[in-house]
Amino acid sequence: MTGGTEPDAHRLVLRGALATGAGFVVKMGARLGFLLMAGWLFGAAAFGAYSLGVAVVESGVGLAGLSLKKLLFQWLDANESKGEERRPPLHVVADAAVLVLTASSVLALAIMTVTALVVGGLPRTGAGAALFWLAPMIAGQTLVDVLLAASRWRGAIRYEVVGRSIVEPYTQLAVAAAGWAAGVPGWALIAGYWAGNLTVNAYALLGIQRSFGGGGLAGYWPERRRLLRLARSLAPNTATDLLAGVYARLDLYVVGLVLGTRWAGIYSMAQQLCTPVRQIRQSFDGLLVPLVARTVAVRGSAAAGAALASAARLVLAIQLPVVLALFTVGAPLLDLFGPGFAAAWAALVLLAAAEAVQAAFGTADLLFVYLNPRVGLAQTAVGIAVGAGTALLLLPVLGITGAALAVLAGYLVRAAMRAWTLRRRFAVTVPLAHPAGPFLAAALSVGAVLLARPLGDLAALAAGLSAYAAVMLVWLRVTGESLKLTGFEAPAR
């Protein structure tokens, strides 16, 4: 079998990104409904307690997930190359599932035990209750990541799109609303999270059955020695994912610890409204991950780095208009979700800018996954130290705005370290001209927004978006640059 052409890879990634992006748009309906309900019915304090519990669960997924939603592709590809020694692909998937469920169960039990000891029994209210009762869902989240990754390996991305965008969020919304109507508001948000995760796992299992066939697990038995060997090989990438997961939520932890659950709820609302910026990048990740693995193997690290730079530029060009919109109309948008949330406008803008920086320069982290995961681990640790230190310094002075500024500072430091390391250790150099056009267009469009502000928010937004589009078109024409994905090795045919 031979690899595909660059246009093949370009079409494959764009098709997957469009499908995933469409799913995110559908999911946003449920997300907005959930946030409106949480803001108006439950209030900032209750939403903050729930958000802190979810943040711990999601950080736990970084540890218990063992980085297998990325590395499973490598395992499956390596298994396919073994010829007669090849195992049934579902046996490889089953190994991954056993590993993450084992790690998740141990971690969830530890979190629940510590929480119960701290509060002196079974917690029934506040952040303690959310943390205790949501902890078992670490297993649900890690398992569904493995199942959906396996379906993507088969080329069936629809199960991730439908599962994550329709099945999970709309079930969560419906059950949470039912809990409120039933008069148990203290448990409604937690019950919604459980229901959403269980239903998406059921749907993902359906996807596995249809993608791999019903008899693929015949003869499988989890071999202890093999699983231990696999687990040891996962350690560096797992540590990196854990640190990245903690860092992505460290600001919320610090806000909750220093300022309390009310401010944690207000800050979490800003984080949630930044989700579209992050999801633009995530729309591409589903197919970028396997393509990077193949490109590194076939063309080498330098070629993979150049290919990732083209992907980062395209993602950034799509993200920045969303960041501009949040800058322009973020305050009235936050006000729609309940009293007090508009106080997070500055934090919202800084968090959105941080997501854009991470999109522009963070795609190169995928290279460390396959080339040297320990380097990625070290850089993530430094980024956490910078972010945490900056947050502790700025939070007492600037409140939640300081926490968001710390996130941006951490991402900028990681971007600088990443570029230096790739150039010195792997001969991967990405010219600064790659992201220059989108950044220039965004800067000039902010000026257009400020000039048009006296005419109203909508007029300012229209002026900003028009300026962004005009500058991007001129830049592409003058420089001859392109927003196409180039340099990727498409999957073998």
pLDDT tens-digit profile, the chain (493 residues):
344 555 555 565 556 556 655 666 777 778 888 888 888 888 889 999 999 999 999 889 988 998 888 788 888 888 888 877 788 899 999 999 999 999 999 999 999 999 999 988 888 888 899 999 999 999 999 999 999 999 988 878 889 889 988 899 999 999 999 999 998 888 999 999 999 999 999 999 999 999 887 667 878 888 999 999 988 888 877 877 787 777 778 889 889 988 899 999 999 999 989 888 887 877 776 666 667 666 766 666 666 677 777 777 888 888 899 999 999 999 999 999 988 899 999 999 999 999 888 877 766 666 666 666 677 777 778 877 888 888 888 988 999 999 999 989 888 888 888 778 777 776 666 666 677 888 899 999 999 999 999 999 999 999 999 999 999 999 988 988 777 776 666 655 4
Cα gap 195→172, rounded to integer Å: 6
422 lies in some domain: yes
Q: DSSP alpha helices (H): ranges in 260-372? A: 261-273, 275-299, 301-335, 345-362, 365-371
Domain limits for position 143: 21-233
Co-location of 283 and 220 in the same domain:
no
Instruction: Select from 40, 31, 45 the least CA-distant residue to 196.
Output: 31
Do 424 and 479 belong to one domain?
A: yes
227 lies in the same domain as 375: no
pLDDT at 493: 45
The C-alpha atoms of residue 294 and residue 278 are separated, in whole angstroms, by 24
CA distance 11 to 426: 28
pLDDT on residue 18: 64
- Do residues 305 and 205 share a domain? no
What pLDDT sits at residue 296? 67
Position 1 scores a pLDDT of 38
C-alpha to C-alpha distance for 234 and 249, rounded to whole angstroms: 23
Q: Are residues 465 and 360 in the same domain?
A: yes
Q: How far is CA 129 from CA 57, 59, 350, 377, in A?
A: 13, 17, 31, 32
| Residues 217 and 333 both lie in one domain | no
Q: How many domains are contained in the chain?
A: 2
Per the domain annotation, does 271 fall within a domain?
no
For residues 341 and 271, the answer to whether their CB atoms sit within 8 Å is: no
Single out the residue of 161, 488, 468 nearest to residue 304, CA to CA. 488
| 113's tokens | 């035990």
Q: Are residues 489 and 428 in the same domain?
A: yes
Q: Residue 257: inside a domain, yes or no?
A: no
Taking the CB of residue 27, how many other CB atoms lie within 10 A of it?
21
The answer on 286 and 362 residing in a single domain is: yes
Q: Does some domain include residue 238?
A: no
58 in a domain, yes or no? yes
Query: Does a structural domain hold residue 9?
Result: no
Is the domain of 307 the same as that of 217?
A: no
DSSP secondary-structure letter at 336? T
Domain identity same for 93 and 184: yes
Here the tokens at position 470 are 């005009």
Residue 258 lies in a domain: no
Q: Which residues contact 417 (CB under 8 A, 6 or more apart)?
A: 379, 382, 383
CA within 13 Å, CB half, 136? 9
- On whether both 125 and 222 belong to a single domain, the answer is yes
Q: Which of 303, 286, 283, 306 is nearest to 295 (CA)?
A: 303
HSE (CB half, 13 Å, CA atoms) of 486? Answer: 10
Residue 252 inside a domain? The answer is no
pLDDT for 238: 84
Contact 38, 189 (CB under 8 A): yes
Cβ–Cβ < 8 Å for 43, 338: yes
Q: Both 163 and 57 in a single domain?
A: yes
Assess contact for 62 and 244: CB atoms under 8 A: yes
- Tokens in use for 468? 């962004």
